[in-house]
């Protein structure tokens, strides 16, 4: 069970960030009637601040969600960071309590020790395995090039790419946690319980 002290520290930092955001919003409300006030610029600043709080918090909880199911969180974090920096798209399934065999298809068995170098080689652009999903159970890469069920839902009304739809599709039907790296933007997210959460790829809590 995770120590309560880091959790309380994170909650304290989250409260502090939210208080600061509230003060920024209050200041915006106080100055919105001033004709010279650049409202759009302040909206952008608040959006940026909120996004930073969201990604930092999601990154922290990602570690909490994964720690009981793999001892290789740091390996996963490094792999996602490197893939994000290179804009190599990736789809990584971490099995938790639910069995996934009936929902994951066409994978190539690997049964290899989890390492960031192997993960990066799998998702290297041009690799025959890079388009599918990797399945991880405990500290082992079970298979690659897996096909996942696609979600029919949209995130906040936005059209999603195939990787994100696949991540949501599996997370809607199981308790699996699915990491996604966008090939277009390099941004990293994780899917859990049918929702997507942005995460940091540097300075993960």
> How does pLDDT run across 93-113, given as a tens digit for each residue?
999 999 999 999 888 999 999
Residue scoring higher pLDDT (29 or 175):
175
pTM for the full model?
0.76
**Mean pLDDT of the region 44-64:** 75
The answer to whether 176 and 190 are in contact (CB under 8 A) is: no
How confident is residue 134, by pLDDT bands cut at 50, 70 and 90? Answer: very high
pLDDT of residue 13: 75
Encode pLDDT of 183-197 as tens digits. 999 999 999 999 999
**Mean pLDDT of the region 154-161:** 72
* Burial (Cβ within 10 Å: 0-12, 13-18, ≥19) of residue 144: buried
Which residue's entry shows tokens 């570690």?
63
Lowest mean pLDDT segment, chosen from 28-32, 64-68, 196-200 = 28-32
Residue 174 has pLDDT above 50, yes or no: yes
Q: How many CB atoms lie within 10 A of CB 11?
A: 12
Count H helices, E strands: the chain? Answer: 5, 7
Look at residues 62, 75, 27, 47 and name the one whose alpha carbon lies nearest to residue 179.
62
Residue 42 has pLDDT above 80, yes or no: no
Distances (CA, A) of 143 to 79, 94, 112, 173, 202: 17, 11, 8, 20, 27
pLDDT of residue 44: 80
The answer to whether 139 and 182 are in contact (CB under 8 A) is: no
Residue 143 has pLDDT above 70, yes or no: yes
Residue 205 has pLDDT above 50, yes or no: no
Q: How far apart are CA 130 and CA 128, in angstroms?
A: 6
Distance of alpha carbon 116 from its chain centroid, rounded?
A: 17
Distance of alpha carbon 10 from its chain centroid, rounded?
A: 18
The answer to whether 66 and 56 are in contact (CB under 8 A) is: no
pLDDT of residue 183: 92
Pairing relationship of beta strands 177-181 and 140-146 according to DSSP bridges: unpaired
How confident is residue 24, by pLDDT bands cut at 50, 70 and 90? Answer: confident
Contacts for 69 with CB less than 8 Å, ≥ 6 apart: 94, 95, 96, 138, 177
Q: How far apart are CA 35 and CA 117, in angstroms?
A: 55
Residue scoring higher pLDDT (108 or 38):
108
| SS3 of residue 104 by DSSP | coil
Torsion angle (degrees, nearest 10) of CA 25, 192, 107, 92: 40
Residue 131 tokens read as 């388009």
């Amino acid at each position: 069970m995770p120590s309560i002290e880091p959790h309380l520290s994170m909650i304290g930092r989250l409260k502090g960030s939210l208080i600061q955001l509230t003060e920024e919003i209050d200041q915006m409300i106080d100055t919105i009637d001033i004709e010279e006030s650049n409202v759009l610029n302040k909206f952008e600043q608040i959006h940026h601040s909120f996004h930073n709080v969201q990604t930092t918090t999601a990154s922290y909880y990602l570690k909490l969600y994964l720690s009981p199911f793999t001892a290789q969180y740091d390996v996963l974090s490094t792999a996602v960071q490197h893939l994000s920096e290179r804009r190599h798209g990736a789809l990584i399934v971490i099995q938790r309590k639910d069995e996934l065999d009936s929902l994951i298809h066409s994978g190539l068995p690997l049964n290899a020790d989890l390492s960031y170098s192997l993960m990066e080689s799998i998702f290297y652009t041009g690799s025959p395995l890079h388009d599918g999903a990797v399945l991880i159970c405990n500290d082992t890469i079970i298979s690659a090039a897996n096909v996942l069920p696609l979600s029919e839902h949209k995130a906040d009304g936005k059209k999603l790419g195939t990787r994100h739809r696949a991540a949501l599709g599996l997370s809607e039907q199981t308790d699996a946690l699915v990491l996604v790296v966008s090939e277009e933007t390099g941004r990293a997210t994780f899917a859990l319980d049918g929702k997507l959460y942005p995460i940091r790829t540097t300075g993960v809590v």
